[in-house]
């Protein structure tokens, strides 16, 4: 991967998607981010945001969620799918944290450096590197680069990495992204992956990164009849907590 290619990708994404969200301003609580990320697994950001606001409205605090029945939690979050599993996992995680720290107010973790935050949260079932990177960005004002399926797919198609899993993509690219550009690139790659470089039927004929792309199965013959406007879905739950 050439540095100049990565710089061009970052700059064209910026031009298209505009000024990135300022993740250092008015951060949500660490648990807000952890729970919103869990809710957003295998569903859209819009439906997981609805589930998140339902939980907040009904229970008020995460302490109350920890004490609630799984059924009551499930009723609140059924809008986002996999409600049984998510209700069980969220309640279990909250109870484990309460037991370990004596509180669900986790701001003491601000004292930890990034590596120590990764180590701390990796001890919990169902919390992986991607989720912890989201906590670092959105709740702790750090610069990190979570790799989800969109980010993994797009970076491989562009030829910026050559890997077969999001974890390997993270390892291959994390030290090559300029300082203070990590979150911005992450957010724009998600938007780009949702709206242009989709898993099936990528909109190659409308793609502003076409000349930089190495993907051998480009969808070159796809014709969009006029009007050719792409309706974009750029809602990211963690930017709205």
Q: Residue 136 is encoded by which pair of tokens?
A: 């670092």
Instruction: Find the binder of ligand SF4 among 181, 203, 239, 240 (CB under 6 A).
Output: 203
Minimum CB distance to ligand SF4 smaller for 146 or for 202: 202
Sequence-ordered alpha helix ranges (H) in the chain: 3-17, 30-39, 45-59, 62-67, 70-77, 83-101, 114-121, 129-138, 149-158, 166-173, 182-195
Contact 13, 180 (CB under 8 A): no
Minimum CB distance to ligand SF4 smaller for 2 or for 123: 2
Query: Counting contacts by CB under 6 A, is residue 213 touching ligand SF4?
Result: yes
Contact 154, 167 (CB under 8 A): no
Nearest residue to 34 via CA among 120, 143, 132, 116? 132
Phi, psi at residue 187, to the nearest 5°? Answer: -65, -45
Query: Counting contacts by CB under 6 A, is residue 146 touching ligand SF4?
Result: no
Fill in the DSSP letter of residue 27: P
Q: Residue 141 is encoded by which pair of tokens?
A: 């004002």
Minimum CB distance to ligand SF4 smaller for 104 or for 213: 213
- To ligand SF4, the closest distance from the beta carbon of 186 in angstroms equals 16
- Tokens 């991967």 found at: 1
Query: Counting contacts by CB under 6 A, is residue 215 touching ligand SF4?
Result: yes
- To ligand SF4, the closest distance from the beta carbon of 169 in angstroms equals 15
- To ligand SF4, the closest distance from the beta carbon of 116 in angstroms equals 36
Query: Counting contacts by CB under 6 A, is residue 6 touching ligand SF4?
Result: no
Query: Counting contacts by CB under 6 A, is residue 5 touching ligand SF4?
Result: no
Query: Counting contacts by CB under 6 A, is residue 158 touching ligand SF4?
Result: yes
Query: Counting contacts by CB under 6 A, is residue 204 touching ligand SF4?
Result: yes
Instruction: Find the binder of ligand SF4 among 210, 234, 239, 240 (CB under 6 A).
Output: 210
Cα–Cα distance for residue pair 11/73, rounded to 1 Å: 43
Instruction: Find the binder of ligand SF4 among 132, 209, 237, 241 (CB under 6 A).
Output: 209
Cα–Cα distance for residue pair 133/74, rounded to 1 Å: 26
Give the interface with ligand SF4 as residue ranges (CB under 6 A). Answer: 157-158, 196-197, 202-204, 207, 209-210, 213, 215, 218
């Amino acid at each position: 991967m050439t540095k100049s290619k990565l710089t061009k990708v970052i700059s064209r994404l910026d031009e298209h998607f505009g000024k990135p969200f300022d993740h250092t301003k008015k951060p949500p609580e660490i648990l807000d981010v952890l729970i919103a990320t869990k809710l957003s697994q295998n569903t859209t950001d819009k439906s997981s945001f609805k589930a998140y606001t339902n939980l907040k409205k009904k229970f008020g605090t995460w302490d109350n969620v920890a004490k609630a029945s799984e059924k009551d939690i499930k009723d609140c979050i059924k809008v986002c799918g996999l409600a049984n599993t998510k209700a069980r996992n969220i309640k279990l995680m909250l109870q484990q944290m309460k037991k370990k720290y004596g509180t669900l107010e986790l701001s003491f973790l601000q004292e930890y450096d990034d590596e120590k935050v990764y180590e701390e949260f990796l001890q919990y079932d169902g919390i992986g590197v991607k989720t912890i990177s989201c906590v670092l960005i959105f709740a702790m004002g750090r610069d990190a680069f979570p790799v989800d399926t969109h980010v993994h797919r797009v970076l491989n198609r562009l030829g910026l990495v050559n890997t077969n899993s999001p974890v390997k993509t993270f390892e291959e690219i994390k030290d090559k992204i300029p300082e203070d550009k990590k979150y911005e690139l992450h957010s724009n790659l998600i938007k780009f992956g949702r709206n242009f470089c989709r898993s099936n039927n990528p909109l190659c004929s409308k793609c502003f990164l076409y000349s930089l792309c190495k993907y051998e199965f480009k969808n070159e013959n796809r014709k969009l009849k006029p009007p050719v406007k792409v309706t974009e879905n750029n809602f990211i739950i963690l930017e709205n907590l």
